Structure 1
Amino acid sequence: MLLLAMDTSTPAVTVALRDGERVLAQATTVDPRRHTELLMPLVTSVLADAGAGRSDLTDIAVGVGPGPFTGLRVGLAAARTMGAVLGLPVHGVCGLDVVAYGAVAARAPGGAFVVATDARRREVYWAAYDSSGCRTAGPQVGSAATVAAEVGAVLPAAGAGARLYPDAFERALEPEYPAAADLAAVVVEKAAEILPPDPLYLRRPDATPPAARKSVLT
């Protein structure tokens, strides 16, 4: 197996290459406005660092969100296109599950926790997890203040939402953003639900088609 993983569902543009056992190369750049410019150069860089070419790939993994419409579609479009051109399977994973996997790997075993990422409009995308990283609620979108009411407790939280709204969460956990290396591990280990490479928006995009003009004639 040679799996290329990518995620653009948050301000972090992240890419990793993994064989069946370990990560061979990875790169991440945090820039919320340059997903389109950054993604494919990072893919090229990661492949070069590992001494691999696109023809060597066997699988592609991509974060399906939830996330803002503009950034999220960059990674999904790239993954789908590469999968179609190279004839490879494309595996989707919820980005909150990827952060949860990283949180469990980064800390000693503990209790339940939440993953909360920035949904803008003073809201978060969130899901709740048990101590092993298994999702128990969500994904949903709403204000940070409502999360405790939904899960019945004030819990520690991984993801950028914990840093944006510290009053709503017990404490902030790492990681802040999903990492492509963790995304690749989730797919290889089947550590979370594997989804089709379709966007998980949870709400309508900010941009909408203009409404038809009203006639000024009586």
Structure 2
Amino acid sequence: MAKKRVAVLISGRGSNMAALIEAAKAPGYPAEIVLVLSNKADAGGLDTARNNGIETAVVDHKIYGKDRAAFDRAMHQVLLAHKIDLVCLAGFMRLLTPEFVGLWSERMLNIHPALLPAFKGLDTHQRALDAGAKVHGATVHFVVPEMDAGPIIMQGAVAVRSDDTETTLAARVLKVEHRIYPAALRLVADGRVTLVDDRCLIDGSAVPDASTLTPE
């Protein structure tokens, strides 16, 4: 079976992008990262991609002003030109239009630094600490028009320590992100993920509930 052609969308250093690139170097990995696309020409992750021999592209959102639809259409054309099968968001800091999300339905993944549906949005680590959470983590999910609300593909958890700060907690969660994002992409690229009633099944079985996760 031919490897799935993957584009990674970034706005910054792209540490999750780097984890996907490394994973995809394995001979048996079912996906290849063929494009890294950014909305910022100075995104640090573009250099990482180039150093790994991966083609890069920039669609500058500023050119389109407040016309989000025009920006998304421009990105879509770049993805089509590269014959992309799957899209992975990795620190891509733009809200996508429902039209764009619809074009990539069940083919676009995102990683969020919290155990969804808890702590959607920004500042997840500090909010977890403020809430007194005992377990925190990260979630890979399919992208839907509503932010951080798509069907969950995989989660990973860490225990919140009594002396944790936002920085220490974020660092441990990032290690989980770098582990579960490549694993989730592998499942999707292998065709092992199906959607039933807006919930993901892996090989026909439900994704483990977050409450059952054993923190690392």
Shorter chain as denominator, the TM-score bin is 0.3 to 0.5
Q: Which has the higher contact order (CA 8 A, sep 6+)?
A: 1
TM-score by length of 2: 0.36
TM-score by length of 1: 0.36
